[in-house]
Amino acid sequence: MPYLRVETNVDIADENFVVELSKLTAENVGKPEAYVMIAIHADLKMSFGGKADPCALLTLKSLGLQASQCKGLSAVLCKFMGEKLDISPDRIYIEMDSHEREMFGWNGSTFG
């Protein structure tokens, strides 16, 4: 159940952005894309370090996410954001979190 939320002050005009990000997330988290949810919140009023230059906050939640995966995920996601939105990796925060299966609901129940 990977869920990736992107918050950025950049306007995202590319309609393929969310599709590409979904595939990338599935591949790098190691889960079927059928369970991946992506939420995009673009063109927000944001600052990072007191400057309104392009920046982003990504929130990634996935059942079974391991700490050993996080550095690689950070590299992949920062690269993607840089290539697609021209956001420097030093202006991106990524919050990564794993939940117990019983603590995440879907389809009228939970995963546990």
- Residues acting as catalytic residues: 2
Cα gap 24→61, rounded to integer Å: 15
- Find where tokens 């590409």 sit: 20
Cα gap 1→63, rounded to integer Å: 6
In our burial notation (b when 16+ CB lie closer than 10 A, e otherwise), range 31-48 reads beeeebebeeeeeeebeb
Contact 77, 17 (CB under 8 A): no
Which tokens go with 91?
Answer: 């202006």
Helix (H, G, I), strand (E, B) or coil at 61: strand
